[in-house]
Amino acid sequence: MQDDATAAREYVSRIQEEIQTEAHQRRESNPALVIQEREISQAWTRSVPGAAAVNWDTDSPADLKANAEHLLGCVDSLSLLDVDAPVGSRRGVRQVKNTVRRLTRWYLRYLADQINAFNHFLVNLLRSTEQRIARLEGGARAAEILGGFVDPVPEADAPLGEAVADLLARCDGPVAVASCGGGQIVSALVRAGVAAHGVDESAGVISDGVDEGLDLRVATPFEHLDRIADGSLAGVVLTRSVERLGPVELSTLIDEALRCVEPSGRIVVAVADVLTRSGPEAELLRGVGLSPGTWAHLLANRGCVVELSEFDGSRVTTLVTAQRQ
């Protein structure tokens, strides 16, 4: 059933791309359509609250890029000022308004031309800035792009969930699972009586867990931890896509996790050992992720008491538990 759901999502996503491409081509080939669209959109924008103009689904770099392009398109179409104010349909009023419009047109046209020229250059500047940012991001995201050529990190299985839950079972406070996937670890924690919630970047991945009533949310670990007040969590679990973070991001994540946990709170790291990577994975993910030993080193350096425990899993073989002092 999950495969059917994924296939349906991918199908709609493909159709939407085709629609956007066709819409783009139609605008390019028919300038009259652009004018008509602008008139209709302006009428529409008047009744749409500004706050509704939020793109909710920017959960991947591709989405972010598409969103930026879409917003630039909106800026472009809305930046053109038109001096032909509507005059309405009531006869007497229309005539008066028509006269006022004729009288003021020469002056408004003069102003509008200057503002339109300014807007035109401003939009071009935004586009060129967007392209420069895209180039910079391309460089900064090299690891992420290369990571796209290897399989995604698999879901935690039930035994791993149980093992993590055992380590945090005595937590008397909320526990956040960063990069929770479908929620196996959250589910095990909840069964153990822990108030656990999870976050993951992918809306699709958490769907099944959400359907089962787990508290799983769409967010990056950074976004989520950033919202949590100092010392508010009893524990943090770092797992799954944490394996695919570079050193700077990992260091930031550790600091954020330590900030969020209470003085005696715990951080559990459940990731595969980078030293066991082989084949294309080893080459493409070079410099990404840490071995359990290095996790332990970094956490101990930040003043935690660290324990390594063996785990008999197919990928994850060592769990790192750090207790803040």
Partner 1 sequence: MSDITFVAPRYGADVVGGAELGARALATRLSAEGLDISVLTSRARSFDTWVDEFPEGTTNEEGVSVSRFSVDHPRSPDFAASCDRLLRNPEQASMEDARQWISEQGPTSTDLLDAVAEVHSGVLAFTPYMYHPAVQGVTLARVPTVLHAAAHPEPPLGLPVFDGLFNSVSALAHYSRPEQRLVSDRFPSTVLTPQVVMGLPVEAPDFEIDPQAARRTFGLGDEPFVVFLGRVLRSKGTHELVDFFAATRARRGGGKLVIVGPVVDEVSERDGIVCVGPVSEEHKFGLLAAADVLVNPSPLESFSLVVLEAWLAGTPVLVNGWCGPTRDHCAQSGGGLWYSNFVEFEVSMNRLLDDAELRSRLARAGRSYVERSFSWPAVRQRYQSLLSQIS
CB of residue 199 to partner 1, shortest distance in Å: 10
CB of residue 32 to partner 1, shortest distance in Å: 11
CB of residue 55 to partner 1, shortest distance in Å: 8
Return the closest-CA partner of residue 255 out of 279, 221, 286: 221
Binding string to partner 1 for residues 216 to 245, with x set by CB under 8 A, is what?
Answer: -xxx----x--xxx--xx------------
C-alpha span between 145 and 138 (Å, rounded): 8
Q: Which stretch in 19-27, 96-104, 145-153, 308-316 sits in contact with partner 1 by CB under 8 A?
A: 19-27
Given 17, 84, 157, 212, the residue binding partner 1 (CB under 8 A) = 212
Question: Vertex 204, ends 203 and 207: CA angle to 5°?
Answer: 85
Which of the residues 60 through 99 are near partner 1 (CB under 8 A)? 70
Q: Between the CA atoms of 325, 254, 227 and 187, what dihedral angle is there, to the nearest 10 degrees? A: -90
Closer to partner 1 by Cβ: residue 67 or 116:
67
Binding string to partner 1 for residues 138 to 177, with x set by CB under 8 A, is what?
Answer: ------------------------------------x---
Return the closest-CA partner of residue 265 out of 172, 143, 128, 159: 172
Given 211, 230, 255, 283, the residue binding partner 1 (CB under 8 A) = 211
Return the closest-CA partner of residue 17 out of 76, 86, 70: 70
C-alpha span between 23 and 307 (Å, rounded): 57
What sections of the chain are H helices per DSSP?
2-29, 31-47, 61-78, 91-140, 142-147, 158-168, 184-191, 203-211, 221-226, 247-260, 279-284, 292-301
| Binding region for partner 1 (CB under 8 A) | 1, 4-5, 7-13, 15-16, 19-20, 22-23, 26-27, 33, 36-37, 40-41, 43-44, 47-49, 51-54, 56-57, 70, 174, 190, 195, 197, 203-204, 207, 210-215, 217-219, 224, 227-229, 232-233
